[in-house]
Amino acid sequence: MIELEGLTKRYGEKVAVNDLTFAVRPGIVTGFLGPNGAGKSTTMRMMLGLDNPTAGDVRIDGRHYAQIKHPLKYIGALLDAKAMHGGRSAYNHLLCLAQSNGIPDSRVREVLDTVGLTAVAKKKAKGFSLGMGQRLGIAGALLGDPQILMFDEPVNGLDPEGIHWIRNLMKGLAAQGRTVFVSSHLMSEMALTADHLVVIGQGRLLADMSMADFIRQNSRSYVRLRSPQQERLRDVLHAEGITAVEAGNGTLEVDGTPVERLGELAARHSLVLHELSPQQASLEEAFMQLTAESVEYHAHSDTRAPDTSGWQQSNQQWSQKREQ
């Protein structure tokens, strides 16, 4: 278990981490999300004793990192895959880590095998690709067979097979009862991997809840209906006290009524339906909605990536229509 209590970090005027209190529990994968500059890496560095908090406290199984004798046996971390001696071979890099942490040499071959680097074990790390470097960093995290694992952007540089592998690795580690804490900007990947989310913005805690609750609370779920008998359908719904909002392209949207009830109502009145589909926003949409106000770095160009403001706008319009 990792516990943070009022954790704060200032760099001069800048408050990078602002009074964070949360716990990371064993047996599940906890995702750590936040826009660029939100304070994720700073938080993780303080968890590992690499930075001192300005205020507050972080404890690993009740102890400060510095109090743990052989830390790699308790907590394994991938922070910066480039942070290694490039002149050493992958094998020697891990051997040095093992020997300074009281870990048997035999463990080096095991973790090299786990991450798929056995064939290049004798090659110098500085010649490694980004993905190979990530794998070596992950091998270092696994070396001490720790109960707590922390990964900062672990899929960075990995190919689809590698992404699939790390996803299953993290889920497997959590299923063994370990504590797994992972940050990533890849929302689709996070949605497939994490059970629980901690979300921060401008150093502050924005959410600490299950993935399902996070999406439910930060997005709109509704049912979309399409029928060639739209007018009759609207009348039937209206008579039942159900508000259906026209959403263009011949579709109606209904909020707050289970999809089963809508289907049964249509059947009872012999209405033809071409579509009856529950709609749930993605993690990415829920994340954008929650963090919209705490994004520090906005792109300002005509070629910027598509954002979800359209989605937010239609959400607002929809809410306004519902209120009318």
Ligand X SMILES: Nc1ncnc2c1ncn2[C@@H]1O[C@H](COP(=O)(O)OP(=O)(O)OP(=O)(O)O)[C@@H](O)[C@H]1O
DSSP assignment letter at 127: G
Coil, helix or strand for 212?
helix
How near is the Cβ of 202 to ligand X at its closest, in Å?
Answer: 9
Of 34, 53, 133, 137, the one binding ligand X by CB under 6 A? 34
Considering only 39-47, 124-132, 187-195, 267-275, which stretch makes contact with ligand X by CB under 6 A? 39-47
Residue type, 276: L
Of 14, 63, 70, 261, the one binding ligand X by CB under 6 A? 14
The tally of CA atoms less than 13 A away on the side-chain side of residue 102 is 8
Coil, helix or strand for 109?
helix
**Positions 74 through 133 that interact with ligand X (CB under 6 A):** none
Comparing CB distances to ligand X, the nearer of 268 and 298 is: 298
Coil, helix or strand for 304?
coil
How near is the Cβ of 34 to ligand X at its closest, in Å?
Answer: 5
Coil, helix or strand for 159?
coil
Q: 47 and 150 in contact (C-beta within 8 Å)?
A: yes
Of 2, 4, 16, 81, the one binding ligand X by CB under 6 A? 16
Considering only 31-39, 235-243, 245-253, 271-279, which stretch makes contact with ligand X by CB under 6 A? 31-39
DSSP assignment letter at 131: H
How near is the Cβ of 198 to ligand X at its closest, in Å?
Answer: 12
Of 26, 37, 56, 263, the one binding ligand X by CB under 6 A? 37
Comparing CB distances to ligand X, the nearer of 40 and 178 is: 40
Residue 8 makes CB contacts below 8 A (sequence gap 6+) with: 15, 17, 18, 19, 20, 53, 54, 55, 56
Q: 54 and 87 in contact (C-beta within 8 Å)?
A: no
What is the distance between the alpha carbons of residues 153 and 34, in angstroms, rounded to a whole number?
A: 12
Beta bridge partners of 33: 199
Of 11, 64, 70, 85, the one binding ligand X by CB under 6 A? 11
Comparing CB distances to ligand X, the nearer of 39 and 140 is: 39
- Judged on CB neighbours under 10 Å (0-12, 13-18, 19+), 142 is buried
> Contact between 40 and ligand X (CB under 6 A)?
yes
Q: Give the total of residues touching ligand X (CB under 6 A).
A: 11
Coil, helix or strand for 113?
helix
Considering only 40-48, 223-231, 253-261, 302-310, which stretch makes contact with ligand X by CB under 6 A? 40-48
How near is the Cβ of 152 to ligand X at its closest, in Å?
Answer: 7
> Contact between 157 and ligand X (CB under 6 A)?
no
Of 8, 18, 30, 41, the one binding ligand X by CB under 6 A? 41
- Judged on CB neighbours under 10 Å (0-12, 13-18, 19+), 11 is exposed
How near is the Cβ of 29 to ligand X at its closest, in Å?
Answer: 19
> Contact between 42 and ligand X (CB under 6 A)?
yes
Of 4, 20, 38, 290, the one binding ligand X by CB under 6 A? 38
> Counting runs of H as helices and runs of E as strands, what totals does the chain give?
11, 13
**Footprint of ligand X on this chain (CB under 6 A)?**
11, 14, 16, 34, 36-42
